Structure 1
Amino acid sequence: MFAFITKNKNDIIYLSLLLFSVGVGPRYRALKSVEAKKWAGSILGLILIIIVSGYNAVHPILSALLGIIVIKAATVKYCHIATFFLMFSYLFFFRMADKFGLQLPSGQTNLIEMILVLRVVGVSFEINGSWLAVGKAKKQEQEQKDVKEKDDEFLEIINPDFLDLFHYAFNYIGLLTGPYYRYRTYNDYFYLPYSKYVDCFGFTINTLRMVPVYISMYLAFSNIWPLEYILTEDHNNRNFVYRMMYPWAIFAAFRQRIYAGMTLAESVCTSAGFGAYPVQGRNRSGHGPTVGYMKLKEMSEEEARNSEYDFNTVESMDVWGCETVVTLRDSMKVWNKAVQYWVAMVVYKRFPIKPLKIHAALFVSVIWHGYHAGYFFCIYACPFYLMAEDIYYKLYYKDATGTKKKVIGFIMWFLRSHSESYQAAAFLLLTFDRIWIYYTSMHHYWYGVWLTFLILGLILNLVQRPRKPKIKGEEKKQEISN
């Protein structure tokens, strides 16, 4: 028991701090003064950083402050670009600290730094995006065109001062392991009445109930099927089917760890009432309300009291979806949804070169996770699998019904799960030499399977592609020629 505690000391401390953050939520929500609540959240956040990081707390604190200074010093036109490059440059330096004669920070400090990068870069893009959207709306009004209000949240300028940015960056909610939320969500928490009327206790209990299961399964899987075993000679002497399925076990352990952490992080939000919005806003993870935002802001106290709420805005993981969706494309949508939203809004939608959008999004996702080869092997492999998967999905699954759809769905689910497990092995092994040892022991078989599926799919797509119906003019010409 003592050996287990010593080995997992940092994780136990981190878990304890997450549970503490959940427990402090009701007291934090009960604070009446907005200023008191902002300062209490920031002070608590700074204390958590110092407890987790010790002397290395200087890194997340300094990087966030530098990012805030750049946001306020740069013009609104370029603040997002300057902040992006500053924060990711510091993230790179932070992870290479030992190369500069400094102590290499712990994995838990790395998680905090990653969240701060999302927050500081994200708010700079919110500021710039609101400025662009309001300018576009004014131009349309001047040209007497109809303004389409698909999502009207950007029809107001977002321009927080230095102190508000400080409070947003260091608020304890979501600081340890997410979820990512926008500045707008943070600001709404203090000035809209939703947190007073949502059933925080009920949502929190419902969210927390599965955490003991996730932790128990993680401990069981990681002890029965340890990661390091796949690099041993004993593993290599096993039959091929056993070795082929072993990544399922280590990826299952990894998933349970992520589920537990993300679920606790969501519970920190729900216990404080953070991220609650009325359901009529059709709230989306990371984003918040997607329709009628201005109307929600004008909601009276009586309407707020009688509204139905959800916490979709701060939902990170759709656990059931992660386990059951058929395709890798759908799996990517339900895994760490708040971060996926950040990548989509900050990188994919704002990258200027259309053919390179997906590559830019994947590259930023990789470097946000780290510089190890395992992240490239895992994340950058996804598009190649998707190319083959999309072909078979359209040819055989999309229009199938009944038993046929279930059988094809199971096959696609199995292949998707196996592909993710194979990629996850690289993600967890991290370094190129370890990945190469394992993949070589498996003869790199899954890449061969991918290539075979892709080539076969392209051939089947050509053979089964429906011919375009001939137009009447062409039919008449053919009759005359005959």
Structure 2
Amino acid sequence: MEIGLNEIIYYFSLLICMSLGSYYRKIDDIETKRNYGAGLGILTACLICGFQIYHCVLMVWGNVVIIKCSDKRYVHHLSMAYTWTYLIYMYYYAATSQYVIWLHQAMALKLVGLAFEINNHDKRTNPNRPPMPNNTMTSGDNQVMTTEPTAVDIITYSFFFIGIHKGPYYRWKTFESHFSEPFATLGDCRVITMQKLKKVALCSMGFLLLSTRYSAKYYNADSFYRDHNTDYRFLYNIPLLVMFFLQNQMVMALSTAVCTEAGFGVYPAKCNPLPGHGPSEHTSFMNVVTAETALAEEYNFGMLKCFENGKLLLGPKMKDTLRSWDMPTVYWFWINIYKNMSKTNKETRSACSYLAWTLWCGADLQHFILAATLWVYVNLELEFSGIFNTARQMKRLPWEIGFSLMRILCLIYLTPCVIIKDTSVFLRYYNSIYWIYHWFLLGSIIVAIALQKLLN
């Protein structure tokens, strides 16, 4: 495996932020703490982006103008249109490395998420707007902003060193309350950080061992298509899928280790913190807690949880895998895209969520095929679950085993969508295996339609 300068800089900056996080946690003055976090984040962005740091500035200042000057009824639409367009421009014309894209993606979620929060705040507090229907309420969303963020607040939130590398996403409400709550200095953060570093060490060992034998560059070689049959070309995706999984585990573990070492994202267990959202129950406790009562609480870092590996690896259905992967980001698309389209049906809402995710990841053919395939698969999975629904465990078990096998085969089949960057190589690979799983999905659609007609 070749390690370039961009990789060294990226992982070095993660370790620097982690080591300086312990000093950040000891700062008592709120203003100093905010300036320290924002300054370290700006230096980190400069280190990763280099001369391209002006793209960060343009993205942030464009959103500052939109958020401060636009009509609150449309601020989230304008912010998303501007930011997503800038991401597409970065992906095709400006970014020099994947790490620059990751940084801008993390900023995009925070900036557009803030615009959505401001729009929701206006819905709840502006008497000239119709009241929100009850079915749009979600856990903890009855909280409103205490103050509307200033331009300096938006810049601080965007560049803050926590979560600037890649995930986990956290709301403005979470960021705002972080400076006034006593939990950051009380939770056993160092123990959690060490656990994450041990996980990184194990994942990196597995990744390095696999990378000595398997490489995505082999997809480019003529011998890969000349010397091996279709079965080998399909099964070659398995070690690459494992490597992709291990790399994401490493990056997210290091990113969340920055949070835990800084004392960010720690909440009492009784508040049931959710990934990306923060506390979802007993939120009134957050307003009355004191340092003395906080000492008696049990804590967890559920808000920073990125992977639910039990469901990710063993969940029988694809929806379990998708909900257990990069959970704070999944929460963002669920709460801001899916839930904000309550007047449309579920299929349309999920399609719009997948489309928004595709444009956020990178508007190329690989991501479009990945998103479209997953959308079709999840809806087919739901359709067949309804047709063969049974309450008896022994009758349901064979279907769950079948769903699990089909899910694994689908993930193996889709691995090149996230591994191969060159579109011509990507198409050559799928042509060499005859787009076999897509033909299977087409057959499944025909069978589902036929079964629905027979049952009705």
Calculate the TM-score normalised by the size of structure 2: 0.91
After TM superposition, list the pairs within 5 Å mapping 1:59-70 onto structure 2: 59-70=55-66
The aligned residue for residue 324 of structure 1 is 314
The aligned residue for residue 150 of structure 2 is 161
**Alpha-carbon separation, structure 2, partners of 1:175 and 1:156:** 23
The aligned residue for residue 174 of structure 2 is 185
Question: What amino acid does structure 1 have at the position aligned with 2:271?
Answer: G
Q: Is the 8 A contact 2:168 2:256 kept in 1?
A: yes
Task: Say whether 1:170 aligns with 2:166.
Answer: no
Q: Is the 8 A contact 1:374 1:428 kept in 2?
A: no
Question: What amino acid does structure 1 have at the position aligned with 2:370?
Answer: C
Question: What amino acid does structure 1 have at the position aligned with 2:424?
Answer: D
- Residues 78-125 of structure 1: per-residue CA shift (max 9 Å, x gap): 222222222122222323435xxxxx4322111111111111111111
Deviation (angstroms), 1:62 = 2.4
- Residues 266-317 of structure 1: per-residue CA shift (max 9 Å, x gap): 1111111101111112211111112232332222322211111111112222
Deviation (angstroms), 1:375 = 0.6
The aligned residue for residue 475 of structure 1 is none
- Residues 342-362 of structure 1: per-residue CA shift (max 9 Å, x gap): 111221222365143222211
Q: Is the 8 A contact 1:152 1:293 kept in 2?
A: no
Question: What amino acid does structure 1 have at the position aligned with 2:359?
Answer: I
Task: Say whether 1:116 aligns with 2:113.
Answer: no
**Alpha-carbon separation, structure 2, partners of 1:391 and 1:226:** 37
Percent of aligned positions that are identical? 22
Question: What amino acid does structure 2 have at the position aligned with 1:270?
Answer: T
Task: Say whether 1:277 aligns with 2:267.
Answer: yes
Deviates more, 1:204-213 or 1:404-413: 404-413
**Alpha-carbon separation, structure 2, partners of 1:134 and 1:152:** 13
Task: Say whether 1:454 aligns with 2:445.
Answer: yes
Q: 1:117 to 1:232 in 2, by over 3 A?
A: same
SS of residue in 2 equivalent to 1:273: coil
Task: Say whether 1:346 aligns with 2:342.
Answer: no
**Alpha-carbon separation, structure 2, partners of 1:106 and 1:138:** 44
The aligned residue for residue 356 of structure 2 is 364
- Residues 165-199 of structure 1: per-residue CA shift (max 9 Å, x gap): 12111110110111110011111110011112111
**Alpha-carbon separation, structure 2, partners of 1:152 and 1:447:** 40
SS of residue in 2 equivalent to 1:47: helix
The aligned residue for residue 45 of structure 1 is 41
**Alpha-carbon separation, structure 2, partners of 1:214 and 1:396:** 39
Task: Say whether 1:74 aligns with 2:70.
Answer: yes
Task: Say whether 1:428 aligns with 2:424.
Answer: no
Q: 1:396 to 1:217 in 2, by over 3 A?
A: farther
Deviation (angstroms), 1:462 = 5.4
Question: What amino acid does structure 1 have at the position aligned with 2:354?
Answer: L
Q: Is the 8 A contact 2:219 2:425 kept in 1?
A: no
The aligned residue for residue 130 of structure 1 is 121
Q: Which residue, out of 255, 261, 270, partners 2:251?
A: 261
Q: 1:212 to 1:410 in 2, by over 3 A?
A: farther
Q: 1:273 to 1:370 in 2, by over 3 A?
A: same
Deviation (angstroms), 1:395 = 4.7
**Alpha-carbon separation, structure 1, partners of 2:398 and 2:257:** 37
Max Rg structure = 1
**Alpha-carbon separation, structure 1, partners of 2:314 and 2:177:** 34
Deviates more, 1:247-256 or 1:452-461: 452-461
Question: What amino acid does structure 2 have at the position aligned with 1:379?
Answer: A
Deviation (angstroms), 1:319 = 3.0
- Residues 200-241 of structure 1: per-residue CA shift (max 9 Å, x gap): 112212222211111122222233221232343433332333
Equivalenced residue count is: 450
Relative CO higher for 1 or 2, CA cutoff 8 Å, sep ≥ 6?
2
**Alpha-carbon separation, structure 1, partners of 2:265 and 2:442:** 44
Q: Which residue, out of 429, 435, 438, partners 1:444?
A: 435
Calculate the TM-score normalised by the size of structure 1: 0.86
**Alpha-carbon separation, structure 2, partners of 1:51 and 1:122:** 25
Q: Is the 8 A contact 2:13 2:47 kept in 1?
A: no
**Alpha-carbon separation, structure 1, partners of 2:187 and 2:142:** 22
Deviation (angstroms), 1:397 = 7.2
Q: Is the 8 A contact 1:178 1:265 kept in 2?
A: yes
- Residues 46-68 of structure 1: per-residue CA shift (max 9 Å, x gap): 11111111111111122112212
Q: Is the 8 A contact 1:151 1:292 kept in 2?
A: no
Task: Say whether 1:240 aligns with 2:268.
Answer: no
The aligned residue for residue 56 of structure 1 is 52
Q: Which runs of 5+ in 1 are unaligned?
A: 99-103, 468-482
Q: CA RMSD in A?
A: 2.6
